Homo-oligomer: A and B are copies of this chain.
Amino acid sequence: MSDQIEERIATGFYPPGMRLDETELAASFGVSRTPIREALIQLAAAGLVEIRPRRGAIVTEIGPHRLCEMFEVMAELEAMCGRLAARRITESEQRVLIEAHHACEAARDANTPDIYYRLNEQFHHLIYAAGHNIFLEEQASALHRRLRAYRRLQLRVRDRMGTSFSEHAGIVEAILAEDSELASIRLREHIVVQGQRFADLVASLPMLDSFNHG
């Protein structure tokens, strides 16, 4: 239930700032208000919606400043994953990572951003897992999901796939060389510049303001 609502938030069907009426949602999903309320509470705990007491729930709106902060933390989590992965990755995980990297390359060459988007997610999740710290993997995945709705905007950036892929290449290289510090630095940078691009984009899109406040 909450997954379905989360999906609608991630795809922008429920845009940031939109009011989520319990009765409407219940009717929309063909259930009573009870499971809807429970789903909203879950999503609120995950940070995807905000519940204002006695005033209903809205999809969380993240301003450019906060988005920067979140990407700053995401960058650090991914850097940590990379540092651990460089030390702990197994041979079979190495093979899968290289394979995922090559799949990204194919999507770049085919110029298919939507496929690249999906493969990119897989690539990063492989690094989360290769750190062999399950709690860290969970935290990184959770924050990654939370930023999903904003990552959509990435599709607008010019030559995103090209720069992203070459950064990936450097990351893979560092991990395979077991150079934990280099892997950490390159992953951090990879995420931070993304965050800055997103924040700029959000700040420059008056469209979102009309969503948010209108």
Please state if B134 and A69 are interface contacts (CB–CB under 8 Å). Answer: yes
A69 → B minimal CB distance (Å): 4
Q: Which residues of B contact A80 (CB under 8 A)?
A: 73, 76
- CB A203 to nearest CB in B, in angstroms, measures 17
Q: Which residues of B contact A45 (CB under 8 A)?
A: 41-42, 45-46
- Which of chain A's residues 13-45 have a Cβ closer than 8 Å to chain B? 34, 37-38, 41-42, 44-45
Tell me if A95 counts as interface (CB < 8 A to partner B).
no
Check B41 against A133 for contact (C-beta < 8 Å): no
Residues in chain B near residue A73, CB distance under 8 A? 77, 80, 133, 135-136, 139
CB 8 Å contact bits of A44-68 with B (1 = contact, 0 = none): 1110000000000000000000100
B-facing residues in A93-141 (Cβ within 8 Å): 133-136, 139
CB of A157, distance to nearest CB on chain B (Å): 23
A37 — nearest CB in chain B belongs to which residue? B38
